[in-house]
Chain A
Amino acid sequence: MSELEAVKDALLGFDAEKLAKATEASLKKNISPQEIMNVITASLKLIGEKFEKGELLLVHLVASGEAAKRAISEYLEPLLSKEGTVVAKIGTVAIGTVAGDIHDIGKNIVASMFFSAGFKVIDLGKDVSVESFIKAVEQHEPDILGMSTLLSTSLPIQREVVEALNNKKLRETVKIIVGGAPVTPEWAEEIGTDGYAEDALEAVNVGLRLLGKE
């Protein structure tokens, strides 16, 4: 098996340890970071397709996403940035679970899916205040801002973030997607966001559509 085949094999086996080793071995053989990156991206795409067809489960999707993230951040990105190459990304997503809520499993899944789809993901965590969302938009200039909540009592925070972005004249710089159990398409529209997604797969599709990259 060639080094690059080992990279693909490790990722399709959802094995973070093996992927890290295969990435390291590929670099030692002077395979360019960009080439390794391409194999990882193609493999993640394949896994995503298999998930959509029902051949793979959510656990495979998240595990491969996390494995890829580790290999990229530990081995590939440092080299690429040294070379001055900017890693090609579809876009940047900043995502968080809004203040008053620490239920973040849904947000984690959505973040993982965005990453696997080729986005740069800035995970703001849970119980994220309005100010922290604004700061993240100012600092990272994301293309998409994602907000989740499981609790209906935290819904108003989503509206507050949209209002604060309006006040700061930042609203036009970012597309906003909301989700979570009590969130409805009507609510998403009422508070002035750009999109609503019922599940993680849809969130990524909405994101791609909003950026015109479907």
Chain B
Amino acid sequence: MRLNILSRDELESLHLTILEVFEKTGVKVHSERAFKTLKENGADVDEKTHLTKIPSHLVEEAIRNAPSFVHLYGRNSKYRLKLERDSFYTVLGSTVTHVIDPETFERVTAKKTYVEQAARVADALPNIHVAAQFCLAMDCPPENQDVHEMEAVFTNTIKPAMVIAYSLQGVKKIIEIGKIIKGGIERLKREPLFFVYSEPTSPLEYSEKAAEILIETAKLGLPILSAPCVQAGATGPVTLAGTLVQSFVESLTGLIIAQLTRKGTPCIIGEVATVMDMKTAVMGYGAPEFSVINAASSQLAHYYKIPFFGTGGCSDSKLPDAQAVAEATMSLLMAMLTGTNLIHDIGYLESATTGSLEMVIIEDELYSMLNRVVKGMKVSEETLALDVINDVGPGGHYLSHQHTLKLITEEHWFPNLIDRSRYGAWKAKGKKDLLTKAREKLHNILREHEPEPLSNDVLKQVEGILESPKSN
């Protein structure tokens, strides 16, 4: 099943407006390397203010030059995610300042242990496809914090990951780790273990750091994601369409710099665009508008034939409670129905402030359930079951029919955490609600799941990168 919320005409209007913003308003690109490249290729650059106006032919050429698919790999070639067309995969939430401690269930300051735990949980769950720096390693030295976080991720899961680097040095070191794990740059390029996130700042700015991280990654031909966080009404227009336009200008700026740095660089475009809640000034991660902008953005990215990174499975609630599950379900379903290739921030609570592994466990189940919705209804001679209905006839039953036995697991979804037992059985098992069961499963994973270890030799080399001096 596939949901399109915009007409072809509306997509065209969005695209034309995006091109006009590039030419009329422009983007401030605060990186000398970036605006020099843009200038050489025909952009109108004010070297004093860094305001860069990009002609439409340059924008459209960059969109054409970006590959229409990006494939991500785990440590081994067998684990492959194909970001293309309508495929959708989940990405763990990233870099929050607080987590809900799995043992005490208290909101605490983020530290490296929780990054490790989250990577192990992602490793264990079938429906969490891409790992990430679940939270900040705030107990690690700031100048090396990003490298510590990625080390925690890569050593605790075989799955691919999203990389958020905090400096040029950081991204260089993280790429080194990727090379060690994959066995060299060529192999890493062929089978990317990660993509690097570069974030423009809304409205319409690209910080030096974000641009430099992007150029460093693109230079090597590794996948790059450019995605801004726009808050409609505050850092973007109050209208959803206007916010989408601005968001795409910002995201495409990253894509253009990447394509000019190295033609054919695998690019993912994305957005984290939602409303600013005008009573609290909080960025609404559980807001319905978020899902609408995401749906339209996914459609526009498909129109450009570029893999899309969107948002789903997040909440503004402070706890993994009913509000959290309601909001996460809404955004996950919308993202899946619209073919959002990467659906990120699984486990986000408190408007991207707190990470909850309980939510990650619950969302692994939600994904499975919603996937059945997205699969829709298969209509064929076999599923229409004309002969079977005739066979059983009035007053019979289908329970033991061969047709039932053959197709039951294909047609019906079976829950794991979601409870469908009768009252007596539920009572006998301790009257557990969803959260209790999720916490039990979480504790079980943390106790028992051992991710496939890296070889001692690789671990030693990774350790070396972690300890190497800043200037390395």
Contacts and interface: CB of A to CB of B under 8 A. Distances in A.
Q: Do A and B bind each other?
A: yes
Interface of A: 54, 57-59, 100, 102-103, 105-106, 109, 151-153, 155-156, 181-182, 184, 186, 199-200
B434 interface: no
B207 A102 contact: yes
B233 A54 contact: no
B371 interface: no
Nearest to B351: A181
A153 B97 CA distance: 12
Interface of B: 30, 95, 97, 109, 136, 138, 142, 145, 166-167, 201, 205, 207, 209, 231, 233-235, 238, 276, 278-281, 353
Given A57-B279, A58-B281, A182 B97 contact: yes
Given A58-B276, A105-B234, A182-B97, A152 B136 contact: yes
A44 B136 CA distance: 40
Nearest to A156: B142
15 contacts: A57-B278, A58-B278, A59-B238, A59-B278, A105-B231, A105-B234, A106-B281, A151-B166, A152-B95, A152-B142, A153-B145, A153-B167, A155-B142, A181-B97, A199-B280
Nearest to A58: B278
A200 B280 CA distance: 9
Contacts of A102: 30, 201, 205, 207
Contacts of B353: 181
Contacts of A200: 281
A59 B277 CA distance: 10
Contacts of B138: 152
A57 to B, nearest CB: 4
Contacts, number: 48
B84 to A, nearest CB: 32
A109 B279 CA distance: 12
Given A109-B281, A152-B138, A200-B281, A59 B233 contact: yes
Given A58-B276, A59-B233, A102-B205, A199 B136 contact: no
Looking at A100, A106, A152, A199, which has the most chain B CB atoms within 10 Å of its CB? A152
Nearest to B97: A182
Contacts of A199: 280-281
Contacts of A182: 97, 136
B284 to A, nearest CB: 13
Contacts of B167: 153
A61 to B, nearest CB: 9
Nearest to B353: A181
A102 B233 CA distance: 18
Closest 3 CB pairs of A and B: A57-B278, A58-B278, A153-B166
B172 to A, nearest CB: 16
A105 B276 CA distance: 11
Given A105-B231, A152-B138, 4 more contacts: A54-B279, A151-B166, A152-B95, A153-B167
Looking at A100, A156, A181, A182, which has the most chain B CB atoms within 10 Å of its CB? A182
A85 to B, nearest CB: 35
A1 to B, nearest CB: 29
A31 to B, nearest CB: 34
Nearest to B235: A105
A152 B145 contact: yes
Given A105-B231, A152-B138, A153-B167, A184 B109 contact: yes
Contacts of A155: 142
Nearest to A200: B281
A183 B207 CA distance: 21
A151 B170 CA distance: 15
B14 to A, nearest CB: 24
A109 to B, nearest CB: 6
Nearest to B231: A105
Given A54-B279, A58-B279, A58-B281, A100 B97 contact: no
Contacts of A151: 166
Nearest to A184: B109
B209 A100 contact: yes
A109 B233 CA distance: 12
Contacts of A152: 95, 97, 136, 138, 142, 145, 166
A152 B139 CA distance: 12
Contacts of B209: 100
Contacts of B109: 184, 186
Contacts of A58: 234, 276, 278-279, 281
A14 B189 CA distance: 55
A181 B30 CA distance: 23
Contacts of A186: 109
A181 B285 CA distance: 15
Nearest to B209: A100
A105 B233 CA distance: 11
Contacts of B280: 199
Contacts of B278: 57-59
A106 B279 CA distance: 13
A1 B205 CA distance: 45
Contacts of B136: 152, 182
A33 B216 CA distance: 58
Contacts of A184: 97, 109
Contacts of A153: 142, 145, 166-167
A208 B104 CA distance: 37
A155 B209 CA distance: 16
Nearest to B280: A199
B110 to A, nearest CB: 9
Nearest to B167: A153
Contacts of A57: 278-279
Nearest to B282: A199
Contacts of A106: 281
A200 B279 CA distance: 11
A182 B233 CA distance: 23
B65 to A, nearest CB: 28
Contacts of A54: 279
A200 B142 CA distance: 27
A200 B136 CA distance: 24
A199 B282 CA distance: 9
A103 B109 CA distance: 22
A60 to B, nearest CB: 8
Contacts of A181: 97, 353
